[in-house]
Amino acid sequence: MTDVKTQINETVKANDVVLYMKGTKEMPQCGFSSRVAGVLNYMGVEYTDVNVLADENIRQGIKDYSDWPTVPQLYVKGEFVGGCDIITEMTLSGELDTLFDDNGVGYNKDAADKIREANA
């Protein structure tokens, strides 16, 4: 498990935004992963996707790493942000914009506003 933890740690530290998910950003394999990837894709965020279905050690390892029981899991600048419900709430409240702004992560502000308008 130490090797998996090291691998996960290196991935989240080496990339500004990482999404551990079921499937890939082009082809999510569950609704929750699809929702978070859809938000990031729509907002034009550049991120690294890690398909937990491709490696059982990573699938369990990411849950142990974050002490969070579910996937997807979003990391920004090496810090765990949350899963689907948290990312959805943060998107609708504007907190995700603030997080990206504070960490120098590029995204399309107009797209973020459109998500909020569509869900108002």
- Ramachandran sector of residue 48 (left: φ over 0; alpha: ψ -120 to 50; beta: rest): beta
In the chain, the domains with their CATH numbers are: 4-118 (3.40.30.10)
At 92 the pLDDT is 97
Indicate the annotated binding residues.
30
- pLDDT (tens digit, 0 to 9) for every residue of the chain, 120 residues total? 579 999 999 999 999 999 999 999 999 999 999 999 999 999 999 999 999 999 999 999 999 999 999 999 999 999 999 999 999 999 999 999 999 999 999 999 999 999 999 998
At 81 the pLDDT is 98
In whole angstroms, what is the distance from residue 8 CA to residue 5 CA? 5
Question: Would the pTM of this model clear 0.75, i.e. be above it?
Answer: yes
At 120 the pLDDT is 83
At 1 the pLDDT is 54
Contacts of 43 (CB under 8 A, 6+ apart): 107, 108, 111, 112, 115
Position 59: which residue type? Answer: R
Indicate the annotated binding residues for [2Fe-2S] cluster.
30
